[in-house]
Structure 1
Amino acid sequence: MSGKRHVLEGAALALVLFPLASVAEPPVIPPRAETPVLHRYDEAPRTPDADDPAIWVHPSRPERGLVIGVLKEAGLQVHDLDGRVVQTLLPPNRPALLAEDPAAPGPRPDAATSACPESESGETFGRFNNVDIQYGFPLRGTDGRVRKVDLAVVTDRGCDRLRIYAIDPGRASGPLLDVTARTAGRVFPERYVQPSPFQPTGEPVGSRPNPLDDQSTAYGLGLYHDPSDRFHAFVTQRSRGVVAWLELYEVGPEQVGYRKVREFRFDPRFSIPTPDGGGRMSWSPCREEPADDPQFEGLVVDQQEGILYAAQEVVGLWKVPLSASLPRVVDVPPSRLIDPVKSFGAPYWAVPDEGEYTCESEAPAPASEGTIAVPGNPAVGGRHLEADVEGLALYYAEEGEGYLVVSSQGDDTLHLYDREGGWTRERGNRHLGSFQVEGVGETDGHDVVNVPMGAHFPRGLVVLQTGKAAPPPSTAPVNGYPYDGSTQFKLVRWDDIAEVVPPGFKVDTDGYDPRDPHDD
C-alpha cells in the first residue's frame, strides 16, 4: 500500500521482571441462559461454528434486547435474552447443502449459490467471523428520508468483506436487514509481508497481491463513533500483523459502504533483555506456518477515550491511541504492548512438520533435521494471559471508570483490567482479577453491556462463546464428515461477575453506555 509512513512516538518496550507466585484458582460463575448447541463437522458444507457475539440494546424495552452471533460458514443467528433463535441469516455466497449432510441452520436441502466473486478456485465461500454493533447511523430509506438506524456489522472472512445489517425489532421477517452496499469490495486486496528472522521463507518485506483463496482476509472487528460524528470499523487481517482502519458511509438508500482510511502495522520482531541482564537480544514468536505473521483477532475501541485495544493471539494486549491526524500507514511501536502473554520472550524450538512447524517449548530429543532453536528470556513474559489471547470487551462505569474484559483462551479464563487512566499510564491498565464461567472454554469472543437488560440481567449482561459445548448423542461421522466439536453462547449477569472485582472498585453505573444513543 502506498502512502506516507509514520511511527507513533514512544519509548522501547519496557519489560518488567516479575517473580512467579502462586495464585488462587479463579472463581467460577454460572451462566443464566444459553443458546442452542451447534455441532460442527469437518469440511461439511455450511457447518455451524459459533464464534463471536454482540449484544443489541432495545431503545425502550430492555428485556427485548438481542444477542447476535456469528456461526462462520453457517452465517449469523439472532437470539433473544432467553437464548431462543429469532432469525438465521446465511452467507450470500455458500455451497450446496444436501438433505443427507450434517445439520446446519437454514433451509435444507439448499441449492448452490455462488462462490466469493474473487475466488479463482471457485471453492471459497462466505465465512462470518466477528460481529459488532453500531448505534445511530444516519441512513436514507427508500422513501428518501434519513433515519438513525442501528447496525450489526460482520466480517465475512471467506469473501474478505464487511456485511452490514440494519436492526429493526419490528420487522416481520426478522430484525436484521442486509444493507451492504452492492459496490462493497474487498477489505484486504493486498497483504503486507513481515518474515520471521528465525524461520526464513525467502520472501522479502513488503506488500504483495493477496489472492482471496489464500484467506489472508478480514477477521476481527471493532467499531467506533468518533466525536466528529464519523463512523469507523477497525478490521484485523487473518495471518497478518495488520489492523485496517475503515470509514463507514452511506452509499445510497439502504446501502452502507466502507473505505480504507489508514493501516496499523505491528512488527513481529522484539528487542528483549538477555537472561543475564547485561544486554539485549532479538526475539520473535514461533510460527507454525512460516509465511504467516502472528495474527490479531479481538478488538475493542474505548468510545470516550479514543483508544484501540487489540489482542495479538501469541503476543499479548496492545493499546493504541487514535487520531484523525495519523497518516495512511502507521508503524506501532512495541511500547504499546501493555501486557504480553506468559510465553512472550520464552525460548522455543520450531520442529519441521510437512512444510510447516510444530512449536515446542522444550528441546526435542532427538531433534529432527531442520529444527530451529530460538533463544529467549522467559522472565520477560506476562503474568496473566495464556496464549491465545482472544476476545476483548469494555464495561463503562461512571467518571471514566470501568473494566476491560479479556479472554485468555489458553487456560479458559477471563481477566478484568482497570479502564481508568487513558493510554498514558506507564505500564498500561492495571490487572484487577480473573474468573471463569461454568461450561465455557476455548472462548473466541464475548461482549458486555452495562445497561439493564430486563429482570434477569438488571445491571448488565455478558455473552460468551464456548467451544466446549456438549457433544451430540452420537459423534459418528454424518455422510462421511467427521464430528469436529460443539459450540454455543452463554449469557451471564454482570452482577455475578462484579463479585470477583476487588474491594474499592466501583461496579455500579447509572445505566449509561457511550455507544448507545438510546441513553440520555
Structure 2
Amino acid sequence: MRALILLAALTGPALAAPALPPAQASDAAALPGGAWLAIDRHALTLQDAGRTVASLPLRARQLDTRTGGADTLAVVIDANLERVQPLLVGGGRLQPLPPVPAPGFGIETACLYRDAQRLDHLFMVGKDGQAEQWLLRPQGHRIVRRLALPPHVKHCRVDDASATLFVAEEDYGLWAYGADAEGPPKRQALALVGAPGALKAGPGALALLPGGVAVVDGDGLLTWRRAGQGWQVQPRRPLDGGTKALAARGDTLLARGKAGWRALALDWPAPAAAAAPLPVVIPHAQTEPVARAGDAADDPAIWRHPTDPGAARILGTNKKQGLLVYDLRGRQTQLLESGRLNNVDVRQGVGFGAERLDLAIATQRDENSIVVFTIDAAGQVAEAARLPTPLAEIYGACLYQPAGGGLQAFVNDKDGRYLHYRIDRDGGRFGATLLRSFRTASQPEGCVADDASGTLFVGEEKRGLWVTPADAARAAPLQMVLPVGDVLVADVEGMGLYRGKERSYLVVSSQGNNSYVVLDAQPPYKVHGAFRIGIDAAAGIDGASETDGLEVTSADLGGPYGQGLLVVQDGYKRLPDGPQNFKYVAWTDVVAALGLR
C-alpha cells in the first residue's frame, strides 16, 4: 500500500501518461514524435509505438543524444571495445558513424555537448579522472582538449544553454564544470555528500531538464534550476531506492526502478528565455604556437609591405622569450630573443629629418624599458635600441604618429601610471624625452592612439575604456567612454583601431566573456555590438578566448583580407591543446556579423 501511495504522489492525477521506454531498457533517450532510443542487454534499439523499428547488436551503456533537423545524433559506449560509438537516428534507421578513437583509459561515462556554433562535442571520462573532449565530425573526429575531472565519475551530462558539464562523482558529490573549451578551467560544487541539505548517499544517474538538472541520490531525487550565474537546489523528492536510470522528455522526467519505468510529477516552470548568443566569426588562419607553454603569447602588431599586400608581417610578443614575426599564413619567419616583451606596436614611414623608418616598440618587463625595433622593406625586424624608464612594472604600450611628424610612445605601469615619451633620433641613435605623465586609478594595459584625430584610448582593466587627447599640448583629464558592464566585461584588455575611409572603429578585447566589442572611434562612441571567434572545424583552427592583445588594420592585405585584418591573441590553444598562438580574422566577416558599414 505504501508503494502505491508513493507512486501516486510521484505521478500525480493530473499528469498525462507519457509514452514510456521499453520495460527491459536499462537506459533510454526520448526522440521526436514519441519514439525512444533504448539500451537492453543485447542491443541498441529504436522503439516507436511499442514496437522495435530498428536494432543494432551492441553491448552498450551510457546513452546520450542531441536532436536537430531530421536526424538525432546519439552516442553510446561500446562496452566490449571500450570506445564511444556515435550514430545517426532518423528515417526509422540506426546509422553507425565512425567510432571515436579509444582514449588511453577505460571509459566510465560519456556525454554530448552542442555548442553555440551548433557543433557537436563528446566528453569521455575515465575512472581515475582522466577525460577528453572531442569534436565530432563526419569527415573525422578531432580531439579538442584533455582535462582532469574527479575520480570515480559514473555519469555526466551537459546543459548546452549554459555550457555546463555536470559530473556525478560516486560517493562524493555533483560538480559543474565549464563545457566550453575556450576558457579557463572552472568548477562549482552543486552538492556534496554530508553537507547540510545536500546529498545523502552520493549522486547516481543524471538527466537534464529545461534550465536545470536532476540527479538520483539513493532513495531520493534532487533537482537544480539555473539561478543567475549559479544553481538553486529544489526540495528533495522520494524515489524507489533501486532507481538506476533517468530520462527526460521535455519537462517530464522518467525514472527506471525495480518495477520498470515511470513518470515523475515535477513542478517545473519553463525557464526564462535565454539571451541571444553573440554572433560568431570564423578565423581564416592561425599562427604557429609560440615556443613557450603557459601564459606566453600576448600582443600582436601588423606591418604592411610597401608593394606586396600578401607579404605583410605580424609581430607578436612572447612574454617569456621575445618577439615573433609571422607571415599571413601564420608561419613564423623570425624570432628575436629580446626577453620578456609584453605589448608591441608599429608605425611606418616615421620621419626623422630626411630619414624615413618603419619602427616597432615593445615593453621589456625584465629591464622596465622600451625596446625599439626597425623593420626593413622586406619585413625583416631587428632590435635597434633599449630606452630605460623609471617604471617599476612596465606593462602596456602604444604608439602615436603626430601629423607634424616624429613618433611618440605611451607606456604604462601596473600601478596605473602612464608615461608619454617622444622618440628621438640623433646621430643614428634612438632616445626618449618625457613629455607628460598621467594615471588611471587601477591597473591598465591596452591603449591605442588615433593618429588622424589625435585621440588616445586607454583601457583600465576593471573599470572600462577612457579617452584623452594624444597631443601633450592638449592634455585633458581622462573621460570615460564605455564602462565595464553588460557589453564590456572585465578584464578590458587589448584594443585596435580600424581606420576606414568613411568611419573608424575601435575593437576592444572583452576578456571576461571571451568577446570583442566594436564601437565608433569618434564621439559619441556608439557601440555596434560584440562578437566571438569560433571554430573552423574543417581547417582544425580553434576559436579564441581570454584574449590579451589584438590589432586590426583596414589595409588591403589581399585574399580574404582585402578589407582588412584583425589579429587576436588566443589565451587557450585547443584542437588539440598546445602553446598559445594568434588567430587571423577577415574584417569582412566582422562587418557581416555586426552589420557594419
**What TM bracket, shorter-length normalisation?**
0.5 to 0.7
Secondary structure at the aligned position of 1:180 is classed as: strand
The answer for the alignment partner of 1:74 in structure 2 is: 321
1:395 aligns with 2:498: yes
Give the alignment of 1:42-441 within 5 angstroms. 49-91=296-338, 126-138=339-351, 146-170=354-378, 175-180=380-385, 184-185=387-388, 187-189=389-391, 216-237=392-413, 239-253=414-428, 255-266=429-440, 268=441, 294-326=442-474, 332=477, 336-342=479-485, 383-399=486-502, 401-421=503-523, 425=524, 429-438=525-534, 439-441=543-545
Whole-angstrom CA distance in 2 between matches of 1:391 and 1:418: 16
Whole-angstrom CA distance in 1 between matches of 2:375 and 2:471: 29
Whole-angstrom CA distance in 2 between matches of 1:28 and 1:391: 19
CA shift for structure 1 position 420: 3.3
Secondary structure at the aligned position of 1:500 is classed as: helix
CA shift for structure 1 position 258: 1.4
Contact 2:281 2:593 in 1 (8 A): no
The answer for the alignment partner of 1:345 in structure 2 is: none
CA shift for structure 1 position 60: 0.7
Contact 2:516 2:532 in 1 (8 A): yes
Contact 2:493 2:509 in 1 (8 A): yes
> Which letter maps to 1:404?
L
Q: TM-score, normalised by structure 1?
A: 0.58
Whole-angstrom CA distance in 2 between matches of 1:138 and 1:180: 17
Contact 1:154 1:163 in 2 (8 A): yes
Whole-angstrom CA distance in 2 between matches of 1:70 and 1:25: 31
The answer for the alignment partner of 2:539 in structure 1 is: none
Secondary structure at the aligned position of 1:453 is classed as: coil
Identity, % of aligned positions? 35
The answer for the alignment partner of 1:450 in structure 2 is: 554
The answer for the alignment partner of 1:32 in structure 2 is: 284
CA shift for structure 1 position 55: 0.6
Whole-angstrom CA distance in 2 between matches of 1:450 and 1:72: 27
Secondary structure at the aligned position of 1:486 is classed as: coil
Contact 2:399 2:407 in 1 (8 A): yes
Contact 1:37 1:470 in 2 (8 A): no
How many pairs align?
A: 318
Secondary structure at the aligned position of 1:264 is classed as: strand
Give deviations 1:350-397, integer Å, cap 9, x for gaps: xxxxxxxxxxxxxxxxxxxxxxxxxxxxxxxxx311110101111112
> Which letter maps to 2:593?
V
Whole-angstrom CA distance in 2 between matches of 1:490 and 1:497: 14
> Which letter maps to 1:391?
G
Secondary structure at the aligned position of 1:52 is classed as: strand
Contact 2:457 2:466 in 1 (8 A): yes
Give the alignment of 1:447-486 within 5 angstroms. 447-470=551-574, 486=579
RMSD: 2.3
Contact 1:127 1:158 in 2 (8 A): yes
Secondary structure at the aligned position of 2:396 is classed as: strand
Q: CA, structure 1 residues 147+486, in 2 after alignment: closer, same or farther (shift >3 Å)?
A: same
Q: CA, structure 1 residues 241+456, in 2 after alignment: closer, same or farther (shift >3 Å)?
A: same
Whole-angstrom CA distance in 2 between matches of 1:389 and 1:464: 14
Whole-angstrom CA distance in 1 between matches of 2:424 and 2:473: 19
CA shift for structure 1 position 419: 2.0
Q: Which structure has the larger Rg over C-alpha atoms?
A: 2
CA shift for structure 1 position 322: 3.2
Give 1 or 2: higher strand fraction: 2
CA shift for structure 1 position 241: 1.5
CA shift for structure 1 position 471: 7.9
CA shift for structure 1 position 337: 1.4
CA shift for structure 1 position 252: 2.5
Whole-angstrom CA distance in 2 between matches of 1:62 and 1:138: 22
Whole-angstrom CA distance in 2 between matches of 1:498 and 1:138: 34
Whole-angstrom CA distance in 1 between matches of 2:289 and 2:447: 26
Contact 1:39 1:471 in 2 (8 A): no
Stretches of structure 2 lacking an aligned partner (at least 5 in a row):
1-272, 535-542
Give deviations 1:61-94, integer Å, cap 9, x for gaps: 0000000000012101100000001110002xxx
Secondary structure at the aligned position of 2:297 is classed as: coil
Give deviations 1:415-445, integer Å, cap 9, x for gaps: 1101233xxx4xxx11111101121001001
The answer for the alignment partner of 2:259 in structure 1 is: none
Whole-angstrom CA distance in 1 between matches of 2:481 and 2:527: 11
Give deviations 1:239-285, integer Å, cap 9, x for gaps: 212211111110332x322121100123x3xxxxxxxxxxxxxxxxx
Q: Which runs of 4+ in 1 moved over 6 A?
A: none
Q: TM-score, normalised by structure 2?
A: 0.51
Secondary structure at the aligned position of 2:298 is classed as: coil
Q: CA, structure 1 residues 318+179, in 2 after alignment: closer, same or farther (shift >3 Å)?
A: same
CA shift for structure 1 position 38: 3.2
> Which letter maps to 1:298?
G
Give deviations 1:84-128, integer Å, cap 9, x for gaps: 01110002xxxxxxxxxxxxxxxxxxxxxxxxxxxxxxxxxx310
CA shift for structure 1 position 469: 0.3
Secondary structure at the aligned position of 1:83 is classed as: coil
Whole-angstrom CA distance in 1 between matches of 2:423 and 2:342: 19
Give deviations 1:317-353, integer Å, cap 9, x for gaps: 11112333257xx7x35xx1121112xxxxxxxxxxx
> Which letter maps to 1:58?
H
Whole-angstrom CA distance in 2 between matches of 1:390 and 1:257: 28
Secondary structure at the aligned position of 2:579 is classed as: strand
Whole-angstrom CA distance in 2 between matches of 1:407 and 1:446: 7
CA shift for structure 1 position 27: 1.2
Whole-angstrom CA distance in 2 between matches of 1:489 and 1:322: 28
Whole-angstrom CA distance in 2 between matches of 1:325 and 1:65: 34
Contact 1:188 1:217 in 2 (8 A): no
CA shift for structure 1 position 169: 4.1
Whole-angstrom CA distance in 1 between matches of 2:278 and 2:380: 38
Secondary structure at the aligned position of 1:158 is classed as: coil
Q: CA, structure 1 residues 179+138, in 2 after alignment: closer, same or farther (shift >3 Å)?
A: farther
CA shift for structure 1 position 405: 0.5
> Which letter maps to 1:62?
P
